[in-house]
Structure 1
Amino acid sequence: MKGVQLFLVASAFLAFAWSLASASDPSPLQDFCVAINDTKDGVFVNGKFCQDPKLAKAEDFFYSGLNIPRNTSNPLGSTVTQVNVAQILGLNTLGISLARIDYAPYGGLNPPHTHPRASEILVVLEGTLYVGFVTSNPENRLITKVLYPGDVFVFPVGLIHFQLNIGKTNAVAFAGLSSQNPGVITIAKAVFGSNPPINPDVLTKAFQLDKNIVTSLQSRFWWDNN
């Protein structure tokens, strides 16, 4: 019962918080949009084409199952369940989305990443999380906090941030994001797991590492927890 009550409180909080904010997404909703002359072949126009509102139904604004714990038995010890415009078509043009993050006991990590198109507000439902973000150049200041159930933390748009479960039990958090399609760039995966690989000479100099270390990192499988 306690978990259900906390879930309802968290849901109400996120709804209230985003009702106070104006819709985001004034910028592109995907990495790029190649223009076409014939719209019959089009899929995206800074989002999605809009359906005739007369055809809208309840299912267009509905998603179920966010209360179900996710499997965290992966190398990162975390799983992110996204609820964006891909899952709820009715989110199109509304500038908001949601995510559930599950963390394995002590060490479950949502690794350093950015959302290029959204700020994030995180509320902890269960467990103890060490969270933080890094400010932009030249300061690159690390701002961190330990969060407990009921605590809330904000990650500004575009900044590298992370969450680590430092407790002995599972942890669960919910995040609201100011975009229908926030995007995720996981730093390690993007840099060392790009396809095709970045020239090792670039990474050797950028990270000031031995080239053998760089090629070793590039040869690994970088897990995606989304």
Structure 2
Amino acid sequence: MALSSRASIQTFLASALVALWFAARAQGQAAGAEALYSGAPVQDFAPGLATGDFVKSLTGTPPAANPSGSGGQLRLLNANNFPAVMGQGVAIALINFNPCGQNILHTHPRATEISYVVSGKVLVGFVDTGANLTLHLNVMNPGDVTLFPQGLMHFQQEIGNAPAVLVSAFNNENPGVVPIPATTFQFPPEIIAVAFGQTSVNSVNAFFANLPANLAQGSLSPGGICQTIFSKNYAAPGPPAPAVPTSPGSGYRKLLSGEELPGEFTGPKEVLSLHFDPGMLISGGGDVLS
């Protein structure tokens, strides 16, 4: 047989093997998807659904698995209780906050979350995975939308001392939820004590015993607003340092660094402290004017 013929046959066999490998891989992926979603990807929806199965109340009494603490109530519709979303890659949640209620620190390992504030004032935040572990805090009002990237720790809290309603959508029919306090304390107290710099296992156990149910209830500051980083006085006492520029007028401003902030402060690494006297005005450039 000529060398050119042998080369052609070898090329054909190699191409056929590659094609067979890709075909087998695609078939395996389809089988995995079919097992996961109870239906082949080419179907419009999961098999066995009746017309009425495509509608479900989000405001009705939630199943026992949905969180309902003193801070409010969370209702989640996912593949477990709303079969219509199986294979569609979506889920939805409704959060009814009591005044100062908080959806405690948690993550969604399998989904990105996008949230819409229907009513009330809601403080939201998440920490990214960059080298500085930056905290992203925002205050949301009715009509505002925010996003929590997949897998990042985040929270939502009502801060206007009034009820609030928030709706969240997920790009996975089973987004999963990892509540940070509860899951952390599933580890042996000896492990947790080392991680948090505690010398006593008893102190860890005592802390765990006081964990609130989600949604947790926040507290009010003396001014009658919900106790958050925005309702506390983080200003260092005394006049500003000479290096901080001020303009003639009433009051002053001071940029506080992380070293000047109380140990309990977990917000941004720098805070601008504004000290208002009667009639004082802050210009657009940040100068103190009388």
The aligned counterpart of 1:108 is 101
The aligned counterpart of 2:72 is 78
- Cα deviation, 1:100-158, whole Å, max 9, x if unaligned, reads 011111x2000000000000000000100010001125321100100000000000000
For residues 216 and 47 of structure 1, what CA distance do their matches in structure 2 show?
A: 43
The aligned counterpart of 1:208 is 197
Give the length in aligned residue pairs: 176
For residues 191 and 60 of structure 1, what CA distance do their matches in structure 2 show?
A: 37
The aligned counterpart of 1:120 is 113
For residues 181 and 138 of structure 1, what CA distance do their matches in structure 2 show?
A: 30
2:83 to 73, 79, 89: 89
For residues 47 and 222 of structure 1, what CA distance do their matches in structure 2 show?
A: 35
- Cα deviation, 1:48-88, whole Å, max 9, x if unaligned, reads 4679967431122111243889xx9834x021100111222
In structure 2, relative to structure 1, the CA distance for the partners of 1:73 and 1:191 (3 Å cut) is closer
TM-score, normalised via structure 1 length: 0.69
In structure 2, relative to structure 1, the CA distance for the partners of 1:150 and 1:220 (3 Å cut) is same
* Larger relative contact order (CA 8 Å, sep ≥ 6): 1
For residues 68 and 112 of structure 2, what CA distance do their matches in structure 1 show?
A: 28
Match of 1:215, as an amino acid? N
Match of 2:157, as an amino acid? L
Match of 1:98, as an amino acid? I
Question: Which structure has the larger Rg over C-alpha atoms?
Answer: 2
In structure 2, relative to structure 1, the CA distance for the partners of 1:121 and 1:111 (3 Å cut) is same
C-alpha displacement of 1:224: 4.2
8 A contact 1:73–1:104 mirrored in 2: no
1:190 to 178, 183, 202: 183
The aligned counterpart of 1:41 is none
Match of 1:74, as an amino acid? G
TM-score, normalised via structure 2 length: 0.54
RMSD: 2.9
Match of 1:223, as an amino acid? A
Q: Percent identity?
A: 32
8 A contact 2:112–2:170 mirrored in 1: yes
For residues 110 and 224 of structure 1, what CA distance do their matches in structure 2 show?
A: 6
8 A contact 1:128–1:171 mirrored in 2: yes
8 A contact 1:119–1:158 mirrored in 2: yes
2:207 to 196, 210, 217: 217
8 A contact 2:121–2:164 mirrored in 1: yes
1:173 to 166, 170, 181: 166
Q: Which SS does the other structure have where 1:60 is aligned?
A: helix
8 A contact 2:98–2:163 mirrored in 1: yes
| Structure 1 residue 140 corresponds to structure 2 residue 133 | yes
The aligned counterpart of 2:156 is 163
8 A contact 1:78–1:108 mirrored in 2: yes
8 A contact 2:46–2:83 mirrored in 1: no
